[in-house]
Amino acid sequence: MITQSHIDLKAGAHGVLLLHGLSGSNLEVSRLAQRLHLEGFSVFAPNIQGYCFETDCTPYTQWLDSTCEAFLKLKKECDTVSVCGLSMGATLALALSQHFEDINSIALLATCMDYEGWAVPWYQVFLPILNFLPFQLNIDFHEEPPFGVKNAEIRSKMRHSLLRKKYAEIGGNSIPLNKIQEGLKLINQTKKFIDSVHCPVLAIHAIEDEICSLRGAEEMFNKINSKKKEFIYLDDSYHLITIDNQRNLVYSETTLFMKDCVNQKLGIDYFKKPHLIHPEAIRLENRA
């Protein structure tokens, strides 16, 4: 079963905890994990039971408890630990930072602070109301195109994989209502303490994110009290930015930011900075 195995890559004294999206698995961030590992980071990307695909939903507080355990595991093995999350995984990363003051840096990729993207059905506004029903609704929301991916070729591959195996790199073929409800609770709880985040933060978000609004990510970012924080806008991607057209830019900028934060923490150039900037970063800078 794909959701039973963790990604645990050993490299050195500096680690990255990598958190996938809601009702997905660490397959969503496996390419980024490999990139970080090649760049010298030890990487741990757990599949959180009750949160990942094909596991029975548990309260969001248990998701957070499991995330804390994963952080402490990596902390025992490494001198510094950074955290990177995709979608609801980014929300978990923010929640985690409210429990630990020694997170070296956080990378927030397509942060889920709402479900108000352009492809979300109109009836999503009623989701919070369902929390007050005296009974549980057993409803699954099936994934529909564009599957979080703007690249047509990749989207086609994901569609075929979902049809054959009910799972793809983008996640499962459906997401239960109860997991979405728990996710909304996590978002609301995280928003209450967002100004308590003080570690360095990198946020990367697609302008055309069809699931989680750019506005929600910007509002979150503006309330963070970190002295070092950066926001990168992607202009050729949808929600799953670790898979879509600008994935290599996401890998490069995430790696560069985390290396820089480690160097600042140690006061030495432990990680050498690249001589060349990713060409996509140059293109975006010239358009600004």
Question: What does the pLDDT look like over 149-204, one tens digit per residue?
Answer: 999 998 888 877 776 776 667 666 678 889 999 999 999 999 999 999 999 999 99
Q: Is residue 138's pLDDT more than 80?
A: no
Question: What does the pLDDT look like over 41-88, one tens digit per residue?
Answer: 999 999 999 999 889 999 999 999 999 999 999 999 999 999 999 999
Spacing of C-alpha 228 from chain mean position: 19
Question: What does the pLDDT look like over 11-31, one tens digit per residue?
Answer: 989 999 999 999 999 999 999
Give the chain's radius of gyration (CA, Å): 18
The reported pTM is 0.89
Q: Angle 247-266/30-38 helices, nearest 10 degrees?
A: 40
Say which residues have a Cβ less than 8 Å from residue 228's Cβ, sequence separation at least 6.
200, 201, 261, 264
Domains of the chain and any CATH numbers: 2-287 (3.40.50.1820)
What are the tokens at 162? 């979902």
SS3 annotation, the chain: CHHHCCEEECCCCEEEEEECCCCCCHHHHHHHHHHHHHCCCEEEECCCCCCCCCCCCCCHHHHHHHHHHHHHHHHHHCCEEEEEEECHHHHHHHHHHCCCCCCCCEEEECCCCCCCCCCCCHHHHHHHHHHHCCCCCCCEEECCCCCCCCCHHHHHHHHHHHHHHCEECCEECEEEHHHHHHHHHHHHHHHHCHHHCCCCEEEEEECCCCCCCHHHHHHHHHHCCCCCEEEEEECCCCCCCCCCCCHHHHHHHHHHHHHHHHHHHHCCCCCCCCCCCCHHHHHHHHHC
| pLDDT on residue 81 | 98
Average pLDDT score over residue span 134-143: 63
Say which residues have a Cβ less than 8 Å from residue 123's Cβ, sequence separation at least 6.
none
Q: Can you tell me the distance from the alpha carbon of 202 to that of 261, in angstroms, rounded to the nearest whole number?
A: 11
Tell me which of 140 and 89 has the higher pLDDT: 89
Nearest of 216, 265, 205, 268 to residue 239 by alpha carbon: 205
Tell me which of 51 and 126 has the higher pLDDT: 51
